[in-house]
Structure 1
Amino acid sequence: MAGLLALLGILNDPGGSGRLLVVALCDAALALVTLLVPWERLHPHSPAVAGLGAFAVLGLSTWSFGGVATGTGPFLVLLYAWSALHFPRWILGAYALPATVAYLVPLIITDQPPIILGSAFILLPAALAVAFLIEAQARHLRDDRLRLARIEQWRTAMINTLAHDVRAPLSTVRVVLEELRETATGQSARMLDAGLRQTARIARLADGLLDVHRIDSSGELKLDRAHHPAHALVEDALSYVRDDVDVRADVGEDITLYVDKQRFEQILLNLITNALRYGKAPVIVSVVRDGAFDRLEVRDHGPGIPETLRPRLFSQFAAEGAQGVGLGLWIVRQFAAAHGGQASAEARDPGVAMVVTFPVADPIPPAGT
């Protein structure tokens, strides 16, 4: 930037074109050297050496213009700001001597009056103070980034551990329940059936944890979509809901959804859980066709969504607290987007309706075609 400004300065001061050209060439040479040096192979603080060359060019510029330091001060501060973003405080302190030499020596050589020399006692400490402030903030940001990176590593390891390690004991539980179910009758059989459904759901939730990790890291999710009767999909999902909660389905027999069955089930159960946790019964589940989209709607009759929460409702950890960690609606939004639809919240009186749309697929081809 300094070299380009020197070239532009020729238009304003044709008489000093020779000096401006020399300064521009020096700036260009310094920039070229810094671009060609393989800094990544050297010590992390080695680029600070380039600052010494920059100070030398600043001094040359001041001297070549007969002690006029109009352009030296801003670039001195800019150089300090760059250094503060990348280097520790001791390097900023070490820069004090070359910065002073680069600013004062050209002024002394060109016999500038004391009042001009005295400007160094204002500019240089101010530039150093600004650098210290920037360095402190940059250091805090780097520390926060490292802390977040460690948290992310721990979270990833935890998700993978939970998702994988839960499968072995769950398989044992499932085998035991299946063995007992073969000879059970009456109420015992119904209880064992419920237990088998829940173990199957836990296995799918473990897969869902891995999906969360994959969505977070790559933004992609592989779906296994097929045509499913909407009524059967909803009824299957509601079989995992406790009998003592008021959840009602209003789904026609003639609607067919083109969805990933497992992901649809996770979407619906997350929305029902959210409605029961934060809303009020009854919870009404409906599926209707609206043009090019099928709309899954889960409505509660509670107090609605607080205005402060609405902008971040479908974000991660939006409503974390004693009742949950705030991932349910975020997962719903990600699964909806993977299907080519979207998730939204619509106000009702009373309550709120969570709506997820799915694109309508081509009709199921007739058999034998």
Structure 2
Amino acid sequence: MGTGPRAAARQSGVLLSLAAALALLGILNSPDMVRRLLLVAACDAALALVAFLLPWQRTGRYSPAVLGLAGFAVLGLSTWSFGGVAAGTGPFLVLLYAWAALHFPRWILLAYVAPATLAYLLPLIITGQPPLILGSAAILMPVALAVALLIEAQARHLRDDRERLARIERWRSAMVNTLAHDVRGPLSSVQIVLDELREDASGVEAGMLDMALRQTARINRLADALLDAQRIDSSGRLKLDRQEHPAGVLVRDALTYLRPDEDIRVEVDPSLTIYVDKQRFEQILLNLCTNALRYGKAPVVIRIGRDGGVDRLEVRDHGAGIPEGLRDSLFGQFAVGGPEGVGLGLWIVRQFALAHGGEAVAEHRDPGVAMVVTFPVLTRP
């Protein structure tokens, strides 16, 4: 499937191969026409080989249209082989027209009218068919052309829509990249100023500066999330820098980005190490904790444990929970959004988990829900 000369040629090759197979089957019903049917099958097979083997991608955009002309000629040969019986010629003629309509503009379809009509009528005239049979062309050809023009109009409409969506996607990609990159420069300057002010601040002023610093860190993470989403969309995969890290240290480092007064409890074996990309793991944990605090109910409990060949990160809240039918959709793009988010957090969590070779799921708890992310254990030789 697809567009372009190569796809058009291969599709015609499939149709011609089918025609060759049907010609060979026709021998069973008409053993007295073996030579003629073998000739038809050989012509169809030869055209199919040309369609499959020639480097059509190096030729002109509409060059495979010549295969349609050759196909009409073989259809005429087939009608002659069957003694003027056009029961199989008509459907295949319409099928060739439909194939052409998917790949070529209407002027080619109109140019096909004369050779297609000739390929249909000439064998009927040669075999001496009555006028009633010859008159069937007056019905078949307009129907074939009408079907082809309808398909061509719809295919053209779909191509225009696809090109429009491609332009929108390029614009969206450029906008996201520009936004994410351009916000970092001014934000870094703001953060430096806030850090300087925080050193000499105390009391209420220190608390306000701490809040401002947390918000700048949050905007930074949002910019990172937008860039990560863009990279995932464009390449489908991320390059990770995986190393072994103490699980407890990773969790404590990540939680420094959150407010210290949040009700978060950590249950991690101090001796456990996990094989992850540190930056991506921190973002996974922060996204899960942020969602648990925003949509669930405290306390939020973080657990990391080993289960066979995987390490399980579990972030649980004690809220109302999530219905089973909605749990899988939570990890879709823009599935969970609101005034404080754009709905990318859980989707990015799953993409990072998949990049590690693991998975991200939502599990029921009583009360609440647990977001579970798995990471394969490092295998040593």
- 2:120 maps to which residue? 103
- 1:87 maps to which residue? 104
Query: What's the CA shift string for 1:49-70, capped at 9, x where partnerless?
Result: 3322221221222123321112
Indicate whether 1:334 and 2:334 are aligned.
Answer: no
Q: 1:48 aligns with which of 65, 74, 80?
A: 65
Q: Which runs of 5+ in 1 are unaligned?
A: 364-369
Indicate whether 1:9 and 2:17 are aligned.
Answer: no
Helix, strand or coil at the partner of 2:333? coil
Number of residue-to-residue matches in the alignment: 363
Q: Quote the Cα distance in structure 1 between the aligned partners of 2:120 and 2:272.
A: 79
Query: What's the CA shift string for 1:295-331, capped at 9, x where partnerless?
Result: 2112223343345533433222334566643321111
Is the 2:225–2:344 contact (alpha carbons within 8 Å) kept by the matching residues of 1?
A: no
Q: Quote the Cα distance in structure 1 between the aligned partners of 2:243 and 2:202.
A: 35
Q: 2:280 aligns with which of 243, 263, 266?
A: 263
- 1:74 maps to which residue? 91
CA RMSD, Structure 1 to Structure 2 (Å): 3.1
Helix, strand or coil at the partner of 1:228? strand
Q: Quote the Cα distance in structure 1 between the aligned partners of 2:266 and 2:323.
A: 26
Helix, strand or coil at the partner of 1:313? helix
Q: Quote the Cα distance in structure 2 between the aligned partners of 1:229 and 1:190.
A: 31
Is the 2:318–2:368 contact (alpha carbons within 8 Å) kept by the matching residues of 1?
A: yes
Q: 1:141 to 1:99 in 2, by over 3 A?
A: same
Q: 1:167 aligns with which of 184, 190, 209?
A: 184
Q: Quote the Cα distance in structure 1 between the aligned partners of 2:214 and 2:53.
A: 64
- 1:112 maps to which residue? 129
Q: 1:351 aligns with which of 358, 368, 371?
A: 368
What TM-score comes out, normalization by structure 2 length?
A: 0.81
Q: 1:35 to 1:223 in 2, by over 3 A?
A: closer
Helix, strand or coil at the partner of 1:222? coil
**After superposition, where does 1:130-169 map in structure 2 within 5 Å?**
130-169=147-186
Q: 1:22 aligns with which of 24, 35, 39?
A: 39
- 2:7 maps to which residue? none
Q: Quote the Cα distance in structure 1 between the aligned partners of 2:196 and 2:256.
A: 22
Q: 1:36 to 1:230 in 2, by over 3 A?
A: closer
Indicate whether 1:224 and 2:254 are aligned.
Answer: no
Q: 2:200 aligns with which of 166, 170, 183?
A: 183
Alpha-carbon distance, 1:79 to partner: 0.2
- 1:288 maps to which residue? 305
What TM-score comes out, normalization by structure 1 length?
A: 0.84
Letter paired with 2:40 = V
Query: What's the CA shift string for 1:60-99, capped at 9, x where partnerless?
Result: 2212332111221221122012112112334334433332
Q: Quote the Cα distance in structure 1 between the aligned partners of 2:117 and 2:130.
A: 17
Helix, strand or coil at the partner of 1:286? strand
Deviates more, 1:32-41 or 1:347-356: 32-41
Is the 1:302–1:352 contact (alpha carbons within 8 Å) kept by the matching residues of 2?
A: yes
- Aligned-pair identity in percent equals 74
Helix, strand or coil at the partner of 2:313? strand
Helix, strand or coil at the partner of 1:294? strand
Helix, strand or coil at the partner of 1:345? strand
Letter paired with 2:245 = H
Is the 1:198–1:240 contact (alpha carbons within 8 Å) kept by the matching residues of 2?
A: no
Q: Which runs of 5+ in 2 are unaligned?
A: 1-16
Alpha-carbon distance, 1:187 to partner: 4.5
Query: What's the CA shift string for 1:91-115, capped at 9, x where partnerless?
Result: 3344333322222232233222344
Deviates more, 1:304-313 or 1:151-160: 304-313
Q: Quote the Cα distance in structure 1 between the aligned partners of 2:337 and 2:141.
A: 49
Is the 1:284–1:300 contact (alpha carbons within 8 Å) kept by the matching residues of 2?
A: yes
Letter paired with 1:124 = M
- 2:252 maps to which residue? 235
- 2:10 maps to which residue? none
Indicate whether 1:275 and 2:304 are aligned.
Answer: no
Alpha-carbon distance, 1:12 to partner: 4.5
Q: 1:144 to 1:255 in 2, by over 3 A?
A: same
